[in-house]
Amino acid sequence: MNKPASIPPEMVPAEGRYHGGPPYNLNLTQEETPEFVEHWRAIMLDKWRLLALAVLVAVIAYAAVSQMTPVYQSSATVLIDMERRSLLQISDAYSGAIPYYKEYFQTQTDILKSREVALRVVTKLKLTEHPEFDPRQKKPSALEKWMNEHLPALAAIYSKPVGALDKASLEDQVLEAFTANLSIEPVRLSHLVEVSFKSHNAMLAAAVANATAEAYMQADLDARYKMSENAEQLLHQQLADLKAKWDASERALQAYRDREGMLDSKNTVLSGAGGQLEALTLKLVDARFRLSEAEQAQNQVRAGNYESVPAVVQNSSVQRAKEIEAEAERKAAEVSQRYGSNHQKFLAASSDVSAARANTRRQIQNLVASVTKEYEAARATAKTIEEALARSKGTIQDLNQKEIGLGVLEREAATNRRLYQTFLSRFKETNASKYSQSSHARLVDAAVPALLPIRPAKARTVAIAAALTLLLGMIGSLLLKALNNTVKTSGDVEAKLHQPFLAALPVLLGNGKQNIVRAVLDQPHGLFAESIRTASTGVLLSALETTRPIVVVTSSVREEGKSTFAMNLAFSQAKTKRVLLIEGDMRRPCFAKVMNLSGEQKGLSQLLSGACTFEECLLQVDGTFVISAGRIPPKPLELLASQEFRDLLSMLRDRCDMIIIDSPPVQLVSDALVIGSQSTGLIYVVMANKTPAPLARAGLKRIASANIPIFGVVLNAQDFKKAERYYGDYASVSSAAYYLPAPQTPNESRGFRAVATSLLRRTWRWRTRQVWKIKKPNITM
């Protein structure tokens, strides 16, 4: 069979044709919407409810905080100067650190929080008698009043009786409340400390803050005065002991000097002994040098080599004697040459030579004797000097030993003297400064009564409550969206059910079900009728190879609109075709009720059981042939699975252009599978935002397992306005200008008032129309 290039125009009513563009649903794949867009749409869908809830919570929060007692806070600023030390410690000198520690400020902060300061403030301001701190004057809260009136037993457990309190217990409770409302905070990068106090009374908050600062400064002064008194007493006791020790050390020093015969000045004694030792040392060096020379000459003399002795060689007498000897020998030589050795003159000359040589020997012997004497004298001198030097060293060593003992006694006396003088100076300073003490802290900025309370912060509390409500509401909306597994849009049909999407039917609001099942007849130009035509077009396109299709309409469960869709589909196709509508749901039939049929009207159950003829059960309703279910049979499935039903469908296919069968739901019974096995294809109806996707998938799986062709899925009761707000996919669907307007009479096109009047009349006629055009068709169907 040849397939037509396009849908014949006669298959679509003229009043429902499009201006342009693709006239039918082509089941194009939709683009995937980003996840954040889906979340935003889910939130915007519930925006009015969320805003209303936020406003309600804000009102409740405002009412709640308005009932709270306001709390005021006042702050005083205290400057704390660090105590400087006059001496630098060795560790600070080596490390280069400034001798001021950050722990000092933390210590002062803790002192401000101490019990002593708090007790001073409590005593000064008489807080034990103030109603805000005195537990005996505490008023019961609203909750306690309500519990006392309605739940006295629970109130007795919840509330603790105060009773009589002694002074210590009362002070403990007041101090506990005082400390809970007091805040001490150092100001960063400064020597300032902020003292803050919270109270229901603004004047009291300022007074307590100032009193705390003053109590801290006064406590510091008292502590300093007490420390000065204690130090003065201690110094006075130690001064007497130090004075006695100093006197004893001075007496011991003088006794030592007297016993050892030492002068008062040790430098004079040591300087004389030192000079003597130095002179003796120099003399000893010189004597030893002379002794060395004499010893050398003596050694040469002892060797017998007088000619080589330097003393002999260098002596003038010896040199003169040698010169005389040499002159005599020269003259003797001259005489011997002139006169001979026997001459008288030669003998005289020889006698002169012998005398000269004897004189030389005599001079040398005298000189050698003098060398020996010089050696002995030099050795005696050196020995004498060594003995004197030894005696001098002994004297100096003895003096040093005595000076050691003297130094110990002098140092002890000097130490005792310095200690005594130091303590005496401290005693005088302490006595002088006891009455001139000043606190190291001062009040820089006094606290003033606050004009506005810090708690409750009404605007902030209301804003936080509203914001948290909106946040929790949005989280709830997203959670409900995530938990919602129903089929909501055409995209869900294709994504969750994996089936073609035929059409989405809008929500119909009418006076009863009779008007809903006739919507395509009463409003042929409406959105519902156009959706029905879109679905029928999809069915025809899917069944192009079948000239006389048998279409089964089913759903997952009841109340999903399958019967309404089947009726309107049949009425829509009956305008151009011979259409037969069969009510196959013989378990819970509805045609008789919505079409106002009589109770005696025969139907499909009687026809299949042979209780009536085909002509008796056939009706024509507004141009559509209809066979209702008739009387409810005991076993509908056996009738639908019988050969009579197959023969009936075979006979009706030859007589009708289209057969539409309204079958029971798939999940409840198997009737739809039996009917679907005899059909060309099946239309599956799901209710938007109601039918769970797993349930619909299970029904479609049963149909597919039975090898029944599925034309597609129809999404019923889709709220287009709501879907447009949420998904943004139906903006063009809700536009009234998208369709051709219905034909108008000349009177209806004369202005806005005429058009409005015409619309009101049509709406009224549609709502009040209750009459079905039912008649017996020609037997020659």
pLDDT of res. 87: 42
Inform me whether the pLDDT recorded for 745 exceeds 80.
no
**Pair 712, 682: CB distance under 8 Å:** no
- pLDDT tens digits, one per residue of 547-585: 899 999 999 999 899 999 999 999 999 988 999 999 999
pLDDT of residue 477: 84
Contact 184, 109 (CB under 8 A): yes
Mean pLDDT of 214-229: 83
Q: Which tokens sit at 584?
A: 């196959």
The mean per-residue pLDDT over the stretch 445-461 comes to 87
Count of helix runs (H) and strand runs (E) in the chain: 28, 13
User: The tokens 């060797």 sit on which residue?
Assistant: 303
The rounded distance, in Å, linking the Cα atoms of 676 and 682 is 7
HSE-up of 162 (CA within 13 Å, CB side)? 13
User: By the 8 A CB rule, do 164 and 134 touch?
Assistant: no
Top-confidence range, 242-251, 412-421, 629-638: 629-638
Please give the backbone phi and psi of residue 647, each rounded to the nearest 5 degrees, phi first: -65, -40
Residue 1 has pLDDT above 70, yes or no: no
Q: Is the pTM of this model over 0.85?
A: no
Share of the chain residues as helix, strand and coil, in percent rounded to the nearest 5: 60, 10, 30
Q: Which has more confidence, 650 or 518?
A: 650
Helix axis angle for 35-45 and 458-483, nearest 10°, is 120
How many other CB atoms sit within 10 Å of the CB of residue 328?
20
Residue 686: pLDDT band with limits 50, 70, 90: very high
Whose tokens are 């396109």? That residue is: 541
Evaluate whether 309 touches 296 at the Cβ level (below 8 Å).
Answer: no
Per-residue pLDDT at 158 exceeds 80:
no
Per the model's pLDDT, the better-predicted residue between 53 and 477 turns out to be 53
Q: How far apart are CA 160 and CA 136, in angstroms?
A: 12
Among 443, 444, 287, 448, CA closest to 377: 287
With 0-12 / 13-18 / 19 or more C-beta atoms within 10 angstroms meaning exposed / middle / buried, residue 304 is: exposed
Q: What is the mean pLDDT of residues 55-77?
A: 89
Q: For residue 284, what are the CA distances in angstroms to 289, 372, 380, 387? A: 9, 20, 11, 10
Residue 418: phi and psi, rounded to 5, are -65, -45
**CB-based burial, 226-261: b 16+ in 10 Å, e otherwise:** eebeebbeebeeebeebbebbeebbeebeebbeeee
Among residues of the chain, what percentage have pLDDT more than 90? 25
Cβ neighbours of residue 274 closer than 8 Å, sequence gap 6 or more: 396
Contact 569, 714 (CB under 8 A): no
CA distance 590 to 603: 12
Edge-to-edge strand list for the sheet holding 441-445: 182-186, 192-199, 72-80, 441-445
The per-residue pLDDT for range 460-476, each reduced to its tens digit, is 889 999 999 999 998 98
Residue 341 has pLDDT above 80, yes or no: no
Question: Is the distance from CB of 196 to CB of 183 less than 8 angstroms?
Answer: yes
Q: Which of 96-110, 274-288, 473-487, 733-747 has the lowest mean pLDDT?
A: 733-747
**Residue 154 confidence class, pLDDT cut points 50, 70, 90:** low
**Residue of 394 and 731 predicted with greater confidence:** 394
Query: Would you state the pLDDT for residue 764?
Result: 37
The SS3 of residue 184 is strand
Return the SS3 of 417. helix
446-458 exposure pattern, b = at least 16 Cβ within 10 A, e = fewer: ebeebeebebbeb
> What is the reported pLDDT for 90?
47
Residue-wise pLDDT tens digits, 650-677: 999 989 999 999 999 998 889 999 999 9
When pLDDT is cut at 50, 70 and 90, the band that residue 705 belongs to is: very high
Answer whether residue 753 shows pLDDT above 50: no
Name the amino acid, one letter, at 301: V
Q: Which residues contact 119 (CB under 8 A, 6 or more apart)?
A: 171, 175
Task: List, for residues 6-57, the tens digit of each pLDDT value.
Answer: 333 333 333 333 333 333 343 444 456 677 777 787 788 788 888 999 999 9
pLDDT tens-digit readout, 116-136? 899 999 889 888 888 888 877
- Which token pair is 83? 């105590």
